[in-house]
Structure 1
Amino acid sequence: MNPKVKLGAVAMLAAAAMTTTSIVSATSATAAPANTADRTITAAAPGFTKPTPQGQKNAIALAGKAIAAQEKSLVKSEDDVFSLEKATSVGGAQYLTYNRTYKGLPVYGGGVVVATDGAGLKVSTLETAQKTELNLDVKPSLSARKAANKARTLVAKVESVTTPKLVVHALAETGAPRLAWEVVVSGSSKTAPSVQHVYVDALNGSILSNWDAVKMGTGNGFYNGQVTIATTPSYTMRDNTRSGLACGGQGGTPYTKSTDSWGNGQGTNLETACVDAYWAAQKEWDMLKDWFNYNGFNGRGGGFPARVGLNQVNAFWNGSYTNFGHNQANTQQATPMDVVGHEYGHAIYQFAGSGGGGGGGNEDGGLNESTGDIFGALLEHYANNSNDPADYTVGEEVNLVGQGPIRYMYKPSTNGDPDCYSSSIPNTEVHAAAGPQNHWFYLLAEGTNPGGGKPNSPVCGGPSSLTGIGIQKAGQIYLASLQLRTTSSLTHARARSATLTAAKQQFPNSCTEFNAVKAAWTAVSVPAVSGEPSCTIQNPNDFSIAVNPATVSVQAGASASATVNTAVTAGSAQNVALTATGAPSGTTVSFSPSSVTAGQSSSVSIATSASTPTGNYTITVNGAGSSVSHSTTFKLSVTGQPGQDDFSVSVNPSSATVNAGGSTSATLSTAVTSGNAQNVSLSASGAPSGVTVSFSPASVTAGGSSTVNISASSSVQAGNYTITLTGTGASAAHGTSFALTVNGDTGGTTWQEWKQYNAGDVVTYNGASYRCLQSHTSLPGWEPPIVPALWQAI
């Protein structure tokens, strides 16, 4: 027997603090050293920088702009309002979830998830499950009482029924949006507890959809040995450092005692069972923080209590707390690490993304059960407890029903569960339906032949040999994918697409993880879906630079100002040093500050002197980063002193794109800026070889205009060129710039960020042509090659 371990002086010193750290006996037949569970925290998974408070503010601001720009793709009606529900992070990506209301009613299935990079400067995805613009009456025909009575029919023994709440039911898979009553009925079926979330049609009384918050699990009973747990000063099993976390009996009250020594090491002792459950939940909380930069079980710093002493051969999560029973032999409680990790994994699944809980179908249920198994395995690997070596089996220690493990993640068919996906999965019992995704996770983490004593794993398709990326990276990708849920029901096809998207978001500088995710899904026979993401390697760290306004006018001897804006376009922010060239004589250009971190702005001061020649000039602003440099231009128009005959020159449009062998035109306009009108002769310079520029007419009187004709021969080299258009008068000469892009066989990009594109529009990107498939406003990171759902290569 393992004797109780006294905390002694440590307990007395800790009693003055808000939280004490207790050394306790867990369900261990042989006492282990007090530091058995101590370990060095594994470093955070590579590939991300934790978002800063400013990055979080940036993400919220950018997400709001993205939603406003994408109202059409979000099928927003005039009566829709979006409000931020939560902002979470996984690794280096941020996920912002928005609720939708219609005429003041919550919209079930209308949530929106916006994903950005860690700096909050680039949108990677913007998703919603709603497919139809809402246009319906919000006056119910069915009373709330009748809706509650209808919902009660789904639970055999009813204990409580919530007050029905009127909502709009807009899940795409259930048909057209309908007005509905949402009712939560708690009770039990003939064999298990049940918390049914029911949506009753508010017009005809039919049940539109329902899902059960109770997710049944099964136990694995191995012993943790002597471990440390955080308790309150009054020796109550409640954690003040991890909100909501506590453990007690079936009444829901946390265990309390007069000393800080817990449990007797016996498998049937309930206080000992709470030690196991409580310690494992604390470790899972720490794992989410240390490995994935995730805050609590709900992503917002929230946790949930545990209960022990359930008189069932089972364990479950009911939407509010975890509950643990015992094995069939009733020799030990079902509170080991992988069971605890499994049940709290259901909580993570329920509160991730905008899914609103869990779907009612078996396929979603199988993915939910697999999620529990995945977090159980992750917890064992993180805790690194020698009393329970990490593995990929479920229930191997508790011998729940006398037959050893209940599931094998590396080869589910060992226990008769499917190794791979097939059309029968949606009709397979939920625990068995966990097989394909469990198998996928093992292949992603460990590969087919990991060695080191870990079991080999078969494949059902694709290459016969896969190399794993490690369980920490695999867990990071899977947790991130859950944040992208925008519907209550998840399918294997959606899981495949979401994990591929998450791999790109979490590891933007490499396609290794993305390709491993894809290969693992292929290996378990989950096929590609339409619009599936692809991966191309970008510059690891990159930025963009722009000047606003693009044209600055100033009278000789005066000063003017503009702003240089920078943004992170790939990887992490870097220091950018700013300089300028091209200023006319007598003019100085300075920056405040002279260097910025990509994503920040700088003020540009342009100071002219009385001797600065009048005219139009192109000033180049250079941004020199640590890994790459970029430049941009703005136009400076310097006017003469009052009383002098002078004029200005401008061109509209100021840029154009042509194919080699093509032509374009623009209008050059002049205006009298002081004194009298004068004759202005027109000329052009800076055109590349093979490009001709002509004017019709070749001279005008100031105040007149001329057509600029630009022709590119088939031999013109593709590229971006600046052509200066000059007007020379009797007393002054002025110029303006025209940006010409020539598309050849290997270059040219006409696609632009933050521009409205309509279905059928054709653009070029790096020399390739694409046709728009859906009308949208282009967001940063939505380039045609990486968003096949919006652009089709032609």
Structure 2
Amino acid sequence: MPAASAAGADGSQAAAQAAPPPSPAFAQPDAQQRKNAVASADKALATDTTALHASADDTFQLVRNIVGTRGLQYLTYQRSHRGVPVYGGDVVVATDPSGQVVETVATGQEATLKLDVKATVTADAAADTARAQLAGADSVATPELVVHATTARPRLAWEVVVTGTAKHGGPSVQHVYVDAKTGQVIDAWDEVRDGTGNSNYHGTVTLATSGSGGSYSMTDPNRPGLRCGGQGGTAYTKSSDSWGNGSGTDLETACVDAMYAAQVEWNMLRDWLGRNGHSGSGGSYPARVGLNDVNAYWNGSYTNFGHNQANNKQATTYDVVAHEYGHAIFQFSGSGGAGSGNEAGGLNESTGDIFGALTEHYANEPAPYDTPDYLVGEQLNLVGNGPIRNMYNPSALGDPNCYSASIPNTEVHKAAGPQNHWFYLLAEGSNPGGGKPTSPTCNSTTVTGIGIQKAGQIFMGGLNLKTTPWTHAKARVATLNAAKSLFKNSCTEFDAVKAAWAAVSVNAQSGEPTCTANPGNDFSVSLNPTSGSVQAGQSTTAQVNTAVTSGSAQPVTLSTRSLPNGVTASFNPATVTAGQSSTLTLSASSTATGGTFQVTVVGTAGSTTHEATFSLTVGRDQPPANDFSVSVNPSSASVQAGQSATATLGTQVISGSTQTLGLSASNAPAGVTVTFNPSTISAGQTSTVTIVTSSTTTAGTYTINLNAAGTSASHSTTFSLTVGGGSGETTWATWTSYKAGDVVTYDGVRYRCLQGHTSLPGWEPPNVPALWQRL
């Protein structure tokens, strides 16, 4: 595999994304486990006939077997009725990694079939009707007789695929369903999915290309199907393995961006979500550049990328590329297909946006490149109006934040709003802190995020259960089932999924799953400090703390993810027993990229992982002769109005000698006082921070700056304070639902809840410090 170079606009070096080793998320079952899954699924089809609306005239054929996060298996069966394929009758069966336990059985069919399968409308007549649905038809495929079963009234229909030009002027691969009894069009959906994005370059990157000895091709040898070329569909070739010039108008450079982004997304799918390629079965799809349009799209078999309205940038980086390939992931997940109607279309568009955000966060590029965010097209400035969609507050750009009865009649890009909003709330929460934007909720609740990687795993698990027609209500149930299957030892993730859907007005559905915690052996991971600075050529350290949160102590293996270019990580020791600590050393080479990066520290015990984030600033200039760092532990607290919180401010000498530091606070809300004991320390020492609220302090979440000023340098850190509206104090009891910020008493001692959960026997506050903080 050539390690092709590709020029960036400024000649800088971006991190190569060729083929890092797979993560535990990418756990492939062996041959016996796959056989087990087929046997279990076949048994489920035979025993769940009532729930599947199966009749004696129905047969099922296995058409797809996809492995998901942590080895969960998803088997899709095509249904036929009296020998006629059933559109909407597919069944998806999910099993555990061993293939022996069925997790979920789902179908989109709403009624048991009993149809006369003899058509009275001819295939030719159906083709003429379908052809008329496009402004111009280039080709019409041979009509196929199907049973259309996505509604409560199944009908015999001709499915006709027409390729040509849609009435809005764009390309179209339209699936038209013509009633085989009446000749009326009853449904239609288009494989072509429009999208827009960010044409930001990545500097000089490493691409996986093909060829040798003076003959090279923009064809990926490791990702079957992925290649890039012009509008003719043939991959670009040349005599050297150096591609592009970094120009925003150069099409070879556009292919560099498209290939690079698609390869990064492929790696994200594997390492974070456990998916085998864009197709889910080890394949990808070609990319074309040079589309003469202010647009980009997926047409069911390849992606095609145009340019912005100013025509000085090609729409070929993370946002747009991951978005368009996200349509492919949507089409080839669960029962397949893109689905008809604006509600399914909105969920499809949102899927593209979500995969764009996941890819940006996985790449974790520093400025001036495409830094991780939840905006779509913010740097492309497609038509001069900035970003085209906002995931944390869709209404800021005129899109709906909340689901309503009008969504099925809302234009598909706008209809992406509710699920985009749900994903942000699930990943980050409504008040995430750390400089991330707040997100309004439709039911005025506070939602706590679980992190983008877990959110992505749950979203992908839900897509793997997709049935036709796809709706927000079905997505809610599917993602709850995914959370329950993926995170068996806790209901935290399940409850977060439920809270996020409710916060966008997608409420409880009949028969949806419930969760009862089965903690088993579990642990937590935390860092002290949570941030630090390092100059190129130097290193910094942090303590990685683990704790037993339930069951017994177990070995925990430590690793890192999202290291910036030129930075390496080591642990001493690399494996600890839960409850022990390790020292993390982050070393920056002399060529390390400058900027601030979020380094993820991962603790793994069996199939369970927990994470903590370290904010690393890499400097390119020499630090002051005497310098220090500052941190606070814990970095957040929730109290009721009139109560107080304490934390420890820590400092560390990072260069030169110690110096005297004066401590102060700023940005505290009205009615809140902050004191330090002592208020003056030497660098390397600690101070106790006491934050006192008054009974009149307004409920909300506030970011308070904690400052340390020395003679040669000054630094600060932030503390997130959440204030509730009243005491709400009760005596702790088992089988009770608690939310973050609740205060209880136990054996005469007061405790504050740190994360929402349902209490179980043995989870008394003194026993689970990960859930309760003593006051």
Flag whether TM exceeds 0.5 (same fold): yes
Q: Which has the higher contact order (CA 8 A, sep 6+)?
A: 1
Query: CA contact under 8 A between 2:129 and 2:178: conserved in structure 1?
Result: yes
Query: CA contact under 8 A between 1:395 and 1:405: conserved in structure 2?
Result: yes
Please state if 1:235 is matched with 2:216. Answer: yes
| Corresponding residue number in structure 2 for 1:519 | 499
Deviation, 1:94, is 1.3
Partner residue of 1:412 out of 394, 405, 411: 394
Cα distance between partner residues in 1 of 2:309 and 2:160: 35
Cα distance between partner residues in 1 of 2:436 and 2:30: 38
Please state if 1:104 is matched with 2:83. Answer: yes
Deviation, 1:38, is 8.2
Please state if 1:90 is matched with 2:72. Answer: no
Deviation, 1:53, is 3.2
1:625-640 paired onto structure 2 within 5 Å: none
| Corresponding residue number in structure 1 for 2:359 | 379
Please state if 1:246 is matched with 2:246. Answer: no
Deviation, 1:24, is 0.8
| Corresponding residue number in structure 2 for 1:70 | 48
Partner residue of 1:214 out of 178, 192, 200: 192
Partner residue of 2:102 out of 102, 123, 136: 123
Secondary structure of the equivalent of 2:441?
Answer: coil
Query: CA contact under 8 A between 1:378 and 1:471: conserved in structure 2?
Result: yes
| Corresponding residue number in structure 2 for 1:330 | 311
Q: CA deviation digits over 1:269-319, x for unaligned, max 9? A: 011001100111111111111111111112111211011101111111111
**TM-score, scaled relative to structure 1:** 0.63
Deviation, 1:50, is 4.9
Deviation, 1:143, is 1.3
Larger mean CA deviation between 321-330 and 291-300 belongs to 291-300
Larger Rg: 1
1:691-730 paired onto structure 2 within 5 Å: none
| Corresponding residue number in structure 1 for 2:343 | 363
Summarize the Cα distance change of 1:72–1:528 in structure 2 as closer, same or farther, 3 Å threshold.
Answer: closer
Deviation, 1:424, is 2.1
Cα distance between partner residues in 2 of 1:494 and 1:462: 23
Cα distance between partner residues in 2 of 1:352 and 1:80: 23
Amino acid across the alignment from 2:210: T
| Corresponding residue number in structure 2 for 1:557 | none
Deviation, 1:149, is 0.4
Cα distance between partner residues in 2 of 1:357 and 1:453: 39
Larger mean CA deviation between 382-391 and 91-100 belongs to 382-391
Partner residue of 1:179 out of 146, 156, 161: 156
1:434-513 paired onto structure 2 within 5 Å: 434-461=416-443, 463=445, 465-487=446-468, 489-513=469-493
Query: CA contact under 8 A between 1:44 and 1:290: conserved in structure 2?
Result: yes
Deviation, 1:346, is 0.5
Amino acid across the alignment from 2:198: N
Query: CA contact under 8 A between 1:280 and 1:340: conserved in structure 2?
Result: yes
| Corresponding residue number in structure 2 for 1:344 | 325
Larger mean CA deviation between 308-317 and 380-389 belongs to 380-389
Amino acid across the alignment from 2:84: L
Structure 2 residue runs of 5 or longer lacking an equivalent are 522-550, 555-605, 607-775
Deviation, 1:103, is 2.5
| Corresponding residue number in structure 1 for 2:375 | 393
**Percent of aligned positions that are identical:** 62
Cα distance between partner residues in 1 of 2:20 and 2:428: 22
Secondary structure of the equivalent of 2:216?
Answer: coil
Q: CA deviation digits over 1:503-531, x for unaligned, max 9? A: 10111221000001111111112111111
Query: CA contact under 8 A between 2:207 and 2:259: conserved in structure 1?
Result: yes
| Corresponding residue number in structure 2 for 1:289 | 270
Amino acid across the alignment from 1:360: S
Summarize the Cα distance change of 1:277–1:525 in structure 2 as closer, same or farther, 3 Å threshold.
Answer: same
Amino acid across the alignment from 1:290: D
Partner residue of 1:152 out of 131, 152, 176: 131
Query: CA contact under 8 A between 1:36 and 1:225: conserved in structure 2?
Result: no
Cα distance between partner residues in 1 of 2:209 and 2:347: 34
Cα distance between partner residues in 2 of 1:44 and 1:443: 25
Q: CA deviation digits over 1:318-373, x for unaligned, max 9? A: 1111111000000111111111000000111111111x412221111111111000
Amino acid across the alignment from 1:188: T
Secondary structure of the equivalent of 2:340?
Answer: coil
Cα distance between partner residues in 2 of 1:36 and 1:165: 46
Summarize the Cα distance change of 1:50–1:536 in structure 2 as closer, same or farther, 3 Å threshold.
Answer: farther
| Corresponding residue number in structure 2 for 1:264 | 245
Query: CA contact under 8 A between 1:216 and 1:317: conserved in structure 2?
Result: yes
**TM-score, scaled relative to structure 2:** 0.65
Secondary structure of the equivalent of 2:133?
Answer: coil
Query: CA contact under 8 A between 2:19 and 2:267: conserved in structure 1?
Result: no
Query: CA contact under 8 A between 1:169 and 1:180: conserved in structure 2?
Result: yes
Secondary structure of the equivalent of 1:58?
Answer: helix
Cα distance between partner residues in 2 of 1:141 and 1:416: 47
Summarize the Cα distance change of 1:535–1:482 in structure 2 as closer, same or farther, 3 Å threshold.
Answer: same
Amino acid across the alignment from 1:404: G
| Corresponding residue number in structure 2 for 1:648 | none
Alpha carbon RMSD of aligned pairs, Å?
2.2
| Corresponding residue number in structure 1 for 2:703 | none
Query: CA contact under 8 A between 2:22 and 2:270: conserved in structure 1?
Result: no
Secondary structure of the equivalent of 2:73?
Answer: strand
Amino acid across the alignment from 2:199: G
Cα distance between partner residues in 2 of 1:347 and 1:303: 9
Q: CA deviation digits over 1:115-172, x for unaligned, max 9? A: 111111211211222233322222221111111001011111111110111222222x
Query: CA contact under 8 A between 1:37 and 1:385: conserved in structure 2?
Result: no
Amino acid across the alignment from 1:133: T
Deviation, 1:230, is 1.1
Structure 1 residue runs of 5 or longer lacking an equivalent are 1-18, 542-570, 575-625, 627-794
Cα distance between partner residues in 2 of 1:25 and 1:444: 37
Deviation, 1:376, is 0.3
